[in-house]
Amino acid sequence: MNADSFWEFIEGCREQAHGRGERLAWLRGALSQRPLTEIVQFQVCVMLSGRLVVLPTS
pLDDT at 49: 80
Please report whether residue 54 resides in a domain: no
CA–CA separation, 21 and 26 (whole Å): 9
Cα 35-6-56 angle, rounded to 5 deg: 65
pLDDT at 54: 59
Please report whether residue 56 resides in a domain: no
Structural domain tally of the chain?
A: 1
Please report whether residue 17 resides in a domain: yes
pLDDT at 1: 82
Give the tens place of pLDDT for each residue, 25-54. Answer: 999 999 999 999 999 999 888 888 876 555
Find the domain containing 18 and state its range.
Answer: 3-49
